[in-house]
Amino acid sequence: MKSLLLVGGLLGWSLGMGLSVLQGDSWPECLWHGGLAAYLTALLMRWWGRAWRKSLEQSVQERDQADNAILPAASTPNTSRS
């Protein structure tokens, strides 16, 4: 989870700073935009990471339940001769 926050923060920081510099904003404004974008992107990555993990755990539980389900007994052929 920490790695997702770090990736989100770095991605947001670079995106916010880059777009702000391209617009020709002053440096304090660029830093403000970069920090805000880093914070929001890290929150978004944390939410997505939790949703992804919950989905993976649910699929593992469903697979375990399917493996533990009682299967009908296979019919054995009748080998008696008359």
- For the chain, the domains span 2-50
Helix, strand or coil for residue 42?
helix
Q: Please return the burial class of 21, using the count of CB atoms within 10 Å of its CB with bins 0-12, 13-18 and 19+.
A: middle
Q: Maximum distance among all alpha carbons in the chain?
A: 99
Rounded mean pLDDT, 11-18 = 94
The size of the chain, in residues, is 82
Instruction: Between 5 and 69, name the one with better pLDDT.
Output: 5
The amino acid at residue 16 is: G
Which range, of 3-7, 32-36, 54-58, 66-70, averages the lowest pLDDT? 66-70
- pLDDT attached to residue 81: 65
